[in-house]
Amino acid sequence: MLFGKKKSVAGLDVGSSSIKVVELDGKVNSLNLVSLGFENLPDDTVVDGQIMELNSVSEVIQNVCKDHQIKSNQVVTSVSGHSVIIKNIILPQMSREELEESIDWHAEEHIPYDLSDVSLDYHVTDEDEESTQVLIAACKRERLDNIKQAIQLSGKQPMVIDVDTFALQNCYEVNYQPDESQVVTLLNIGASTMNVNIVKGSNSLFTRDITVGGSQFTDILQRSLGFSFQQAEAVKRGVADAVEDLDEKAIEPLMNNVTEMVAMEIQKTFDFYRATTEDDEIAVEKILISGGGSKLVGLAEDLSSRLELPVEVLDPFRQIKVDTRKFDPDYLSEIMPEMAVAVGLAIRGVELK
Ligand SMILES: Nc1ncnc2c1ncn2[C@@H]1O[C@H](COP(=O)(O)OP(=O)(O)OP(=O)(O)O)[C@@H](O)[C@H]1O
Ligand SMILES: [Mg+2]
Protein backbone atom coordinates (compact mmCIF):
# COMPACT_ATOMS: atom_id res chain seq x y z
CA MET A 1 0.00 0.00 0.00
CA LEU A 2 1.44 3.33 -1.03
CA PHE A 3 -0.52 5.71 1.17
CA GLY A 4 -1.99 5.24 4.59
CA LYS A 5 -1.28 2.67 7.23
CA LYS A 6 -2.21 -0.90 6.58
CA LYS A 7 -4.30 -2.33 9.39
CA SER A 8 -3.16 -5.30 11.42
CA VAL A 9 -5.08 -8.50 11.21
CA ALA A 10 -6.87 -9.34 14.49
CA GLY A 11 -6.26 -12.56 16.44
CA LEU A 12 -9.45 -14.52 17.08
CA ASP A 13 -9.42 -17.49 19.45
CA VAL A 14 -12.56 -19.60 19.20
CA GLY A 15 -12.37 -21.63 22.41
CA SER A 16 -14.88 -24.22 23.50
CA SER A 17 -16.12 -21.99 26.32
CA SER A 18 -15.50 -18.48 25.04
CA ILE A 19 -14.34 -16.24 22.20
CA LYS A 20 -11.31 -14.02 22.62
CA VAL A 21 -10.19 -11.36 20.20
CA VAL A 22 -7.06 -9.18 20.30
CA GLU A 23 -5.87 -6.45 17.98
CA LEU A 24 -2.30 -5.15 18.17
CA ASP A 25 -0.36 -2.64 16.18
CA GLY A 26 3.23 -1.54 15.84
CA LYS A 27 6.12 -3.81 15.00
CA VAL A 28 6.88 -7.20 16.52
CA ASN A 29 9.52 -5.66 18.83
CA SER A 30 7.30 -2.74 19.83
CA LEU A 31 3.66 -3.75 20.05
CA ASN A 32 0.68 -1.82 21.35
CA LEU A 33 -2.64 -3.21 22.48
CA VAL A 34 -5.40 -1.70 20.36
CA SER A 35 -8.47 -3.77 21.28
CA LEU A 36 -9.36 -6.75 23.34
CA GLY A 37 -12.59 -8.65 23.72
CA PHE A 38 -13.74 -11.70 25.61
CA GLU A 39 -17.20 -13.23 25.60
CA ASN A 40 -18.54 -16.55 26.86
CA LEU A 41 -20.27 -18.97 24.49
CA PRO A 42 -23.55 -20.65 25.37
CA ASP A 43 -23.07 -24.23 26.68
CA ASP A 44 -22.49 -27.01 24.16
CA THR A 45 -21.98 -24.74 21.16
CA VAL A 46 -18.49 -26.18 20.66
CA VAL A 47 -18.11 -29.89 21.44
CA ASP A 48 -14.84 -31.81 21.01
CA GLY A 49 -13.41 -28.88 19.08
CA GLN A 50 -16.28 -28.98 16.59
CA ILE A 51 -18.55 -25.94 16.33
CA MET A 52 -22.03 -27.45 16.64
CA GLU A 53 -24.00 -24.21 16.61
CA LEU A 54 -22.56 -22.16 13.77
CA ASN A 55 -25.12 -19.39 14.13
CA SER A 56 -24.69 -18.80 17.82
CA VAL A 57 -20.88 -18.90 17.60
CA SER A 58 -20.85 -16.46 14.68
CA GLU A 59 -23.22 -14.18 16.56
CA VAL A 60 -20.86 -14.09 19.56
CA ILE A 61 -17.91 -13.38 17.23
CA GLN A 62 -19.86 -10.57 15.61
CA ASN A 63 -20.88 -9.07 18.96
CA VAL A 64 -17.46 -9.25 20.53
CA CYS A 65 -15.86 -7.62 17.48
CA LYS A 66 -18.49 -4.88 17.36
CA ASP A 67 -18.42 -4.17 21.10
CA HIS A 68 -14.65 -3.80 21.06
CA GLN A 69 -14.41 -1.93 17.75
CA ILE A 70 -12.22 -4.47 16.00
CA LYS A 71 -11.20 -2.59 12.88
CA SER A 72 -9.81 -5.38 10.77
CA ASN A 73 -12.13 -7.46 8.63
CA GLN A 74 -9.55 -10.19 8.46
CA VAL A 75 -8.56 -12.46 11.31
CA VAL A 76 -5.96 -15.04 12.21
CA THR A 77 -7.53 -17.94 14.06
CA SER A 78 -6.51 -21.40 15.24
CA VAL A 79 -7.55 -24.98 15.88
CA SER A 80 -6.48 -27.60 18.41
CA GLY A 81 -7.29 -31.07 19.69
CA HIS A 82 -7.73 -34.46 18.01
CA SER A 83 -8.07 -33.24 14.45
CA VAL A 84 -4.65 -31.57 14.56
CA ILE A 85 -1.52 -33.66 14.15
CA ILE A 86 1.90 -32.14 14.75
CA LYS A 87 5.10 -34.13 14.34
CA ASN A 88 8.80 -33.40 14.12
CA ILE A 89 10.20 -35.77 11.50
CA ILE A 90 13.77 -36.35 10.39
CA LEU A 91 14.33 -36.95 6.69
CA PRO A 92 17.48 -37.46 4.66
CA GLN A 93 19.10 -34.27 3.36
CA MET A 94 17.25 -33.08 0.26
CA SER A 95 16.60 -29.93 -1.74
CA ARG A 96 13.46 -27.83 -1.11
CA GLU A 97 12.05 -29.01 -4.44
CA GLU A 98 12.59 -32.66 -3.52
CA LEU A 99 10.99 -32.02 -0.13
CA GLU A 100 7.99 -30.29 -1.68
CA GLU A 101 7.51 -33.21 -4.06
CA SER A 102 7.86 -35.93 -1.45
CA ILE A 103 6.36 -34.38 1.69
CA ASP A 104 2.95 -36.07 1.30
CA TRP A 105 4.59 -39.43 1.00
CA HIS A 106 6.84 -38.84 4.06
CA ALA A 107 4.04 -37.37 6.13
CA GLU A 108 1.56 -40.13 5.35
CA GLU A 109 2.85 -42.62 7.90
CA HIS A 110 2.65 -40.01 10.70
CA ILE A 111 -0.93 -38.98 10.06
CA PRO A 112 -3.71 -41.28 11.21
CA TYR A 113 -6.15 -39.89 8.63
CA ASP A 114 -6.45 -40.26 4.90
CA LEU A 115 -4.25 -37.58 3.33
CA SER A 116 -7.08 -36.51 1.05
CA ASP A 117 -9.08 -35.57 4.18
CA VAL A 118 -6.42 -33.30 5.67
CA SER A 119 -4.70 -30.05 4.93
CA LEU A 120 -0.95 -30.42 5.39
CA ASP A 121 1.64 -27.77 6.13
CA TYR A 122 5.34 -28.13 6.93
CA HIS A 123 8.33 -26.12 7.94
CA VAL A 124 12.06 -26.99 7.91
CA THR A 125 13.35 -26.46 11.46
CA ASP A 126 16.94 -27.61 11.05
CA GLU A 127 19.23 -29.25 8.52
CA ASP A 128 22.78 -30.44 8.11
CA GLU A 129 24.69 -32.43 5.51
CA GLU A 130 22.88 -35.64 6.37
CA SER A 131 19.41 -34.76 7.47
CA THR A 132 16.53 -32.32 7.25
CA GLN A 133 14.28 -31.81 10.27
CA VAL A 134 10.76 -30.99 9.32
CA LEU A 135 7.84 -29.96 11.46
CA ILE A 136 4.61 -31.16 9.92
CA ALA A 137 1.17 -29.94 10.90
CA ALA A 138 -1.97 -31.50 9.50
CA CYS A 139 -5.59 -30.75 10.23
CA LYS A 140 -8.76 -32.43 9.10
CA ARG A 141 -10.31 -30.35 6.34
CA GLU A 142 -13.80 -30.62 7.82
CA ARG A 143 -12.51 -28.99 10.99
CA LEU A 144 -10.97 -26.11 9.02
CA ASP A 145 -14.16 -25.70 6.97
CA ASN A 146 -16.17 -25.66 10.18
CA ILE A 147 -14.23 -22.78 11.78
CA LYS A 148 -14.02 -20.90 8.46
CA GLN A 149 -17.78 -21.07 8.11
CA ALA A 150 -18.42 -19.74 11.61
CA ILE A 151 -16.07 -16.81 11.03
CA GLN A 152 -17.40 -15.99 7.57
CA LEU A 153 -20.96 -16.03 8.90
CA SER A 154 -19.89 -13.34 11.37
CA GLY A 155 -18.75 -11.14 8.48
CA LYS A 156 -15.00 -11.60 9.05
CA GLN A 157 -12.51 -13.36 6.80
CA PRO A 158 -10.15 -16.00 8.20
CA MET A 159 -6.81 -15.15 6.62
CA VAL A 160 -4.66 -17.71 8.39
CA ILE A 161 -5.64 -20.76 10.44
CA ASP A 162 -2.88 -21.55 12.91
CA VAL A 163 -2.68 -24.12 15.70
CA ASP A 164 -3.33 -23.09 19.36
CA THR A 165 -0.06 -24.52 20.60
CA PHE A 166 2.01 -22.52 18.05
CA ALA A 167 0.07 -19.34 18.76
CA LEU A 168 0.94 -19.89 22.41
CA GLN A 169 4.59 -20.34 21.45
CA ASN A 170 4.49 -17.14 19.39
CA CYS A 171 3.10 -15.29 22.38
CA TYR A 172 5.87 -16.72 24.59
CA GLU A 173 8.70 -15.93 22.15
CA VAL A 174 7.75 -12.30 21.65
CA ASN A 175 7.09 -11.67 25.33
CA TYR A 176 9.99 -13.63 26.84
CA GLN A 177 12.67 -13.54 24.10
CA PRO A 178 14.20 -16.81 25.34
CA ASP A 179 17.86 -17.82 24.95
CA GLU A 180 18.39 -20.48 22.32
CA SER A 181 19.31 -23.03 25.00
CA GLN A 182 16.41 -22.35 27.37
CA VAL A 183 13.91 -25.20 27.65
CA VAL A 184 10.46 -24.48 29.04
CA THR A 185 7.10 -26.16 28.84
CA LEU A 186 4.17 -24.06 27.76
CA LEU A 187 0.95 -25.39 29.24
CA ASN A 188 -2.37 -23.89 28.19
CA ILE A 189 -5.29 -25.31 30.19
CA GLY A 190 -8.52 -24.45 28.39
CA ALA A 191 -12.01 -25.67 29.13
CA SER A 192 -11.80 -28.92 27.18
CA THR A 193 -8.22 -29.15 25.87
CA MET A 194 -4.80 -28.80 27.39
CA ASN A 195 -2.00 -27.81 24.97
CA VAL A 196 1.50 -28.85 26.03
CA ASN A 197 4.45 -27.50 24.05
CA ILE A 198 8.04 -28.24 25.10
CA VAL A 199 10.09 -25.43 23.62
CA LYS A 200 13.85 -24.95 23.36
CA GLY A 201 14.64 -21.32 22.58
CA SER A 202 12.32 -20.71 19.66
CA ASN A 203 12.06 -24.34 18.53
CA SER A 204 9.22 -26.60 19.46
CA LEU A 205 10.64 -29.97 20.56
CA PHE A 206 7.38 -31.76 21.29
CA THR A 207 3.71 -30.91 21.42
CA ARG A 208 0.68 -32.77 22.64
CA ASP A 209 -2.96 -31.76 22.93
CA ILE A 210 -4.81 -33.58 25.68
CA THR A 211 -8.57 -33.60 25.95
CA VAL A 212 -8.61 -32.67 29.61
CA GLY A 213 -9.24 -29.17 30.90
CA GLY A 214 -11.08 -26.91 33.29
CA SER A 215 -14.44 -28.43 32.44
CA GLN A 216 -13.38 -31.72 34.09
CA PHE A 217 -13.35 -29.92 37.45
CA THR A 218 -16.84 -28.60 36.79
CA ASP A 219 -18.11 -31.99 35.58
CA ILE A 220 -16.97 -33.82 38.68
CA LEU A 221 -18.75 -31.32 40.95
CA GLN A 222 -21.91 -31.68 38.86
CA ARG A 223 -21.82 -35.46 38.81
CA SER A 224 -20.73 -36.12 42.39
CA LEU A 225 -22.62 -33.38 44.21
CA GLY A 226 -25.64 -32.92 41.94
CA PHE A 227 -24.88 -29.24 41.16
CA SER A 228 -26.09 -27.51 38.00
CA PHE A 229 -23.38 -26.36 35.55
CA GLN A 230 -23.69 -22.76 36.82
CA GLN A 231 -23.47 -23.83 40.46
CA ALA A 232 -20.47 -26.06 39.80
CA GLU A 233 -18.65 -23.30 37.87
CA ALA A 234 -19.29 -20.82 40.67
CA VAL A 235 -18.14 -23.25 43.39
CA LYS A 236 -15.02 -24.05 41.38
CA ARG A 237 -14.22 -20.35 41.01
CA GLY A 238 -14.65 -19.87 44.76
CA VAL A 239 -17.71 -17.60 44.52
CA ALA A 240 -19.09 -17.12 48.04
CA ASP A 241 -22.64 -18.44 48.62
CA ALA A 242 -22.75 -20.16 45.22
CA VAL A 243 -24.63 -23.04 46.79
CA GLU A 244 -26.56 -23.16 50.06
CA ASP A 245 -25.02 -25.25 52.87
CA LEU A 246 -21.96 -26.07 50.81
CA ASP A 247 -20.01 -29.01 52.20
CA GLU A 248 -16.46 -27.68 51.68
CA LYS A 249 -14.94 -30.97 52.82
CA ALA A 250 -16.57 -32.89 49.98
CA ILE A 251 -15.03 -30.62 47.36
CA GLU A 252 -11.33 -30.94 48.06
CA PRO A 253 -10.91 -34.66 47.29
CA LEU A 254 -12.89 -34.26 44.06
CA MET A 255 -10.69 -31.38 42.89
CA ASN A 256 -7.61 -33.38 43.92
CA ASN A 257 -8.67 -36.32 41.76
CA VAL A 258 -8.84 -34.13 38.67
CA THR A 259 -5.58 -32.33 39.51
CA GLU A 260 -3.92 -35.71 39.82
CA MET A 261 -5.17 -36.68 36.37
CA VAL A 262 -3.96 -33.38 34.90
CA ALA A 263 -0.50 -33.84 36.47
CA MET A 264 -0.35 -37.44 35.25
CA GLU A 265 -1.12 -36.39 31.68
CA ILE A 266 1.65 -33.77 31.77
CA GLN A 267 4.07 -36.31 33.22
CA LYS A 268 3.05 -38.75 30.47
CA THR A 269 3.82 -36.05 27.90
CA PHE A 270 7.32 -35.60 29.36
CA ASP A 271 7.79 -39.39 29.20
CA PHE A 272 6.61 -39.54 25.56
CA TYR A 273 8.97 -36.73 24.72
CA ARG A 274 11.93 -38.48 26.38
CA ALA A 275 11.13 -41.63 24.44
CA THR A 276 11.38 -39.74 21.14
CA THR A 277 14.63 -37.89 21.79
CA GLU A 278 18.20 -39.09 21.93
CA ASP A 279 19.28 -35.89 23.59
CA ASP A 280 19.03 -36.68 27.30
CA GLU A 281 20.76 -33.39 28.13
CA ILE A 282 17.51 -31.53 27.62
CA ALA A 283 15.84 -30.72 30.91
CA VAL A 284 12.74 -28.58 31.26
CA GLU A 285 13.53 -25.54 33.42
CA LYS A 286 10.00 -24.51 34.25
CA ILE A 287 6.38 -24.60 33.20
CA LEU A 288 4.65 -21.43 32.02
CA ILE A 289 0.90 -21.82 32.44
CA SER A 290 -1.98 -20.07 30.78
CA GLY A 291 -5.63 -20.70 29.93
CA GLY A 292 -8.68 -20.15 32.11
CA GLY A 293 -8.27 -23.62 33.63
CA SER A 294 -4.95 -22.53 35.16
CA LYS A 295 -6.82 -20.02 37.34
CA LEU A 296 -8.15 -22.71 39.67
CA VAL A 297 -6.96 -21.71 43.13
CA GLY A 298 -3.93 -23.76 44.20
CA LEU A 299 -3.56 -25.59 40.87
CA ALA A 300 -0.23 -23.99 39.89
CA GLU A 301 1.30 -24.79 43.30
CA ASP A 302 -0.11 -28.30 43.22
CA LEU A 303 1.26 -29.02 39.74
CA SER A 304 4.61 -27.58 40.77
CA SER A 305 4.93 -29.97 43.69
CA ARG A 306 3.62 -32.99 41.81
CA LEU A 307 5.87 -32.41 38.79
CA GLU A 308 8.81 -31.05 40.82
CA LEU A 309 9.20 -28.05 38.53
CA PRO A 310 8.67 -24.32 39.03
CA VAL A 311 5.31 -23.22 37.60
CA GLU A 312 4.87 -19.58 36.57
CA VAL A 313 1.93 -17.76 35.06
CA LEU A 314 2.64 -16.70 31.47
CA ASP A 315 2.13 -12.98 30.95
CA PRO A 316 0.91 -12.40 27.38
CA PHE A 317 1.29 -8.62 27.78
CA ARG A 318 4.83 -8.69 29.20
CA GLN A 319 6.32 -6.84 26.20
CA ILE A 320 3.16 -5.20 24.91
CA LYS A 321 2.40 -1.55 25.64
CA VAL A 322 -0.98 -1.17 27.27
CA ASP A 323 -2.64 2.19 27.73
CA THR A 324 -4.06 1.95 31.25
CA ARG A 325 -6.51 4.80 30.52
CA LYS A 326 -8.14 2.57 27.93
CA PHE A 327 -7.74 -0.85 29.54
CA ASP A 328 -8.44 -1.44 33.22
CA PRO A 329 -5.30 -3.10 34.66
CA ASP A 330 -7.35 -5.14 37.16
CA TYR A 331 -9.58 -6.54 34.42
CA LEU A 332 -6.56 -7.20 32.24
CA SER A 333 -4.75 -9.14 34.93
CA GLU A 334 -7.92 -11.12 35.67
CA ILE A 335 -8.34 -12.29 32.07
CA MET A 336 -4.63 -12.47 31.25
CA PRO A 337 -4.42 -16.31 31.34
CA GLU A 338 -7.26 -16.72 28.86
CA MET A 339 -5.73 -14.25 26.36
CA ALA A 340 -2.42 -16.02 25.63
CA VAL A 341 -3.52 -17.81 22.44
CA ALA A 342 -5.38 -14.76 21.09
CA VAL A 343 -2.31 -12.55 21.70
CA GLY A 344 -0.13 -15.08 19.84
CA LEU A 345 -2.58 -14.98 16.93
CA ALA A 346 -2.66 -11.17 16.97
CA ILE A 347 1.16 -11.10 16.84
CA ARG A 348 0.93 -13.25 13.72
CA GLY A 349 -1.61 -10.70 12.44
CA VAL A 350 0.93 -7.90 12.90
CA GLU A 351 3.55 -9.94 11.05
CA LEU A 352 1.16 -10.19 8.09
CA LYS A 353 0.94 -6.42 7.70
N1 LIG B 1 -11.28 -18.35 38.36
C2 LIG B 1 -11.31 -19.55 37.81
N3 LIG B 1 -11.07 -20.67 38.55
C4 LIG B 1 -11.12 -21.89 38.02
N5 LIG B 1 -11.39 -22.13 36.71
C6 LIG B 1 -11.63 -21.07 35.92
C7 LIG B 1 -11.61 -19.74 36.42
N8 LIG B 1 -11.89 -18.89 35.39
C9 LIG B 1 -12.08 -19.65 34.30
N10 LIG B 1 -11.94 -20.96 34.61
C11 LIG B 1 -12.10 -22.12 33.72
O12 LIG B 1 -11.31 -21.91 32.56
C13 LIG B 1 -11.87 -22.65 31.48
C14 LIG B 1 -11.93 -21.75 30.27
O15 LIG B 1 -10.63 -21.41 29.89
P16 LIG B 1 -10.28 -20.91 28.42
O17 LIG B 1 -11.05 -19.69 28.14
O18 LIG B 1 -8.80 -20.82 28.34
O19 LIG B 1 -10.83 -22.14 27.57
P20 LIG B 1 -11.32 -22.20 26.06
O21 LIG B 1 -10.29 -21.52 25.21
O22 LIG B 1 -12.71 -21.67 25.94
O23 LIG B 1 -11.37 -23.76 25.81
P24 LIG B 1 -10.50 -24.73 24.90
O25 LIG B 1 -9.19 -24.04 24.63
O26 LIG B 1 -10.34 -25.97 25.71
O27 LIG B 1 -11.32 -24.95 23.69
C28 LIG B 1 -13.27 -23.09 31.93
O29 LIG B 1 -13.23 -24.47 32.25
C30 LIG B 1 -13.51 -22.24 33.18
O31 LIG B 1 -14.33 -22.88 34.11
MG1 LIG C 1 -8.48 -22.18 24.38
**φ, ψ dihedrals at 238, nearest 5°:** 75, 25
Structure confidence at residue 4 (pLDDT): 53
Q: Kindly identify the ligand whose nearest atom is closest to the C-alpha of 81.
A: 1
Domains of the chain: 10-216+256-351 (3.30.420.40)
Mean pLDDT to the nearest integer, 92-112: 95
Provide the β-strand partners of residue 290. Answer: 188
Whether residue 1 has pLDDT greater than 60: no
Mean pLDDT of the chain: 94
Contact 227, 243 (CB under 8 A): yes
Mapped onto helix, strand or coil, the DSSP state of residue 100 is helix
Give the residue, by CA position, lying nearest to ligand 1 atom 19. 190
pLDDT tens, residue by residue, 170-195? 999 999 999 999 999 999 999 999 99
Q: How far is Cα 18 from Cα 240, in angstroms, rounded to an integer?
A: 23
Mean pLDDT to the nearest integer, 21-28: 95
Structure confidence at residue 69 (pLDDT): 94
State if residue 233 touches ligand 1 by the CB under 6 angstroms criterion: yes
Whether residue 313 has pLDDT greater than 90: yes
Give the residue, by CA position, lying nearest to ligand 1 atom 1. 237
User: pLDDT band at 2, cuts 50/70/90?
Assistant: low
DSSP 330-349: HHHHHHGGGGHHHHHHHHHH
Question: Which of 295, 301, 339 to mutate for ligand 1's pocket (most ligand atoms within 8 Å of CB)?
Answer: 295
Q: What is the end-to-end Cα distance of the chain in Å, rounded?
A: 10
Structure confidence at residue 247 (pLDDT): 87
Q: What is the side-by-side order of every strand in the sheet holding 84-92?
A: 84-92, 131-140, 118-127
pTM tops 0.85: yes
Q: How far is Cα 169 from Cα 204, in angstroms, rounded to an integer?
A: 8
Ligand 2: centre distance to CA 79 (Å):
9
Q: What element of type H or E holds 309?
A: none
